Amino acid sequence: MRPVLTRGLTAAAAATLVSGLGVAVATSASAAAGCRVDYTANSWSTGFTGAVTVTNLGDPISGGWRVTWAFPGNQQITQGWSATISQSGQNVTATNPSWSTTIGTNASVNFGFNANYSGTNTNPASFSLNGTACTGGTTPTSPPPTTTPPPTTPPPTTPPPTTTPPPNGSKVDNPYAGAKGYVNPEWKAKAEAEPGGSRVSNNPTAVWLDRIAAIEGTDDSSSNGSMGVRDHLDAAVAQGAGYIQFVIYNLPGRDCAALASNGELGPNDLPRYKAEYIDPIAAIQADAKYKNLRIINIVEIDSLPNLVTNTSGQAGGTAMCDTMKANGGYVQGIGYALNKLGALSNTYNYVDAAHHGWIGWDSNFGPTADIMLQAAQASGSVNNVTGFITNTANYSALREPFVQPTTSVNGQSVRQSKWVDWNQYTDELSFAQAFRTKLVSIGFNSNIGMLIDTSRNGWGGSQRPTAASTSTNVDTFVNESRIDRRIHAGNWCNQSGAGLGERPTAAPATGIDAYVWVKPPGESDGSSSLIPNDEGKGFDRMCDPTYTGNARNGNSLSGALPNAPISGAWFSAQFRELMANAYPAL
């Protein structure tokens, strides 16, 4: 992960937070109408965030949509998103934004709002879509023509048939719950070849598909292994696994802010990405013999956050990130992947959402969530997103028990320290939970779950603090108290002193679907020096232990281990150190 440490909320950004309320008129198509509304309210003492999902159960709607309801109490909306929202007394009208004027049959739209209230925050009793009550069934918008007068006493009727296909087919809410994870036999063999490696070799790890050739598998690859997608799926079936994890990682202009994990596709190769990469993966995953496997796709590491933090005007801005933002390759590519890979009843998409040391500042937090929504909307529906993953292939500590944003030292907040640098978060769990709340508030489904990659964020061993520092200097206090022992939170490559973190676990905390090992421990982040290869992987100075840094890491030493191979290749010294510093200890 390539963080850019940017702080503060600009006046323009703050103004945006209170915009979006107004009046608009939507027209509806003359077609059978019927709808279902899912409404949630995340309340606190005087306010709440509302999330609304409207599913059209009738004929397609064109020309715009309008959702209306009445609050039963004194609720007053202050801010809305993904719809234009107006309120008169208790009556609320939400109309479509300009980019969302249609709702297909069984398709959904999502919008949200913030509101104030006092007393009891009771949910609305009913909703209407374009004037038709959303009862979960279908009703005609106008009566059919008739040649006889209607009867004075209506005959007994039965309710119209209800068409309620679940938006995610037969998907479960949490694919990790109650399921055995797939153990990659190639990674297992490498782990067990190391002294003591059998202590961790039976943990499930993800399979990285970082180039087109990885789909079929190669015998001459120096990284990731030789088995292809179908090989892994067959092996998962043979193991009796309940789920398998793939990392979808080959966007055009991939990883625009770094070199160690650049890819094979150029910035204008979106057609190749679709036809030669995503389509073949989707076709294999669709094979009926894998229908009982929960196939989890981790979608495009390091992509969308780069469009927020590493474009022009930012400390880490690059020309390639500017190009990918301008041509829409990341948003459209991820949208296509979500659409194709999310179409099956047994597939689950988790989109990469960086980590707290990258987007934990207000100036990055909201804009990153917004661009996640753009990519989901480009896929056709937010239902294509099961959740998000943070800390992928990174080292941010899961919990910082002694250094929290509310901690103060001699009258100074720890946020004022050089390490925290005004970040709103100091550990990954609190960040992931907060980011989930933000994502739901802007229109993602309320049941999305978060994953946290804990493969290398344990930071155990003799250097792990066991109590808070007694220093009255805020910088000294933070440096002596923090679990994360990196030189700088912006360091991301083969970090010295790191250890294995929490073992893969389902549903370990509120809003968290699982702790996972998506980055297989022992696979390098990048080479310490230039190593020619045919996998499109370059050399990044952040992987050089002698590098004294740049603006992205506060001009600090990189903290990288020496003698590392190219990204994805086995790095024995790193694996042994991760085991030695594991927390919980092995």
User: By the 8 A CB rule, do 298 and 518 touch?
Assistant: yes
Query: What is the rounded CA–CA span in Å between residue 268 and residue 431?
Result: 34
β-strands 408-409, 132-133 pairing:
unpaired
**Is 208 a known ligand-binding residue?**
yes
Q: How far apart are CA 553 and CA 487, in angstroms?
A: 9
358 marked among binding-site residues: yes
Kindly state the helix (H) or strand (E) to which residue 334 belongs, with its residue range: helix 329-341
Instruction: Quote the CA–CA distance of 503 and 519 in Å, as a whole number.
Output: 13
Q: What tokens does 417 get?
A: 């320290």
Among the listed residues 577, 559, 1, 561, the one whose alpha carbon sits nearest the alpha carbon of residue 260: 1
What type of residue is 362?
D
Catalytic option among 269, 302, 362, 540: 302
Closest CA to 274 of 359, 346, 341: 341
Question: Does 525 participate in catalysis according to the annotation?
Answer: yes
Would you say 457 and 582 are in contact if contact means Cβ atoms under 8 Å apart? no
Q: What is the DSSP string of 55-122?
A: EE-SSPB-S--EEEEE-SS--EEEEEESSEEEEETTEEEEE--TT---B-TT-EEEEEEEEE--S--P
The structure tokens listed for 569 are 């290749």
Catalytic residue among 427, 525, 540, 544: 525
Exposure string for 210-235, b = 16+ CB within 10 A, e = fewer: bbbebbebbeebebbbebbbbbbbeb
- The question of whether 421 is a catalytic residue gets the answer no
Task: Give SS3 for 245.
Answer: strand
Q: Is 220 a catalytic residue?
A: no
Phi-psi region of 207 (alpha: psi -120 to 50; beta: other; left: phi over 0): beta
519 is in an annotated binding site: yes
Strands 408-409, 412-413: pairing is antiparallel
Cα-based torsion angle of the residue sequence 504, 507, 512, 513 in order, rounded to the nearest 10 degrees? 80
Catalytic (active-site) positions = 255, 302, 525
Q: Which residues are annotated as a binding site?
A: 208, 210, 355, 358, 394, 492, 519, 523
Q: Which residues are annotated as a binding site for substrate?
A: 208, 210, 355, 358, 394, 492, 519, 523
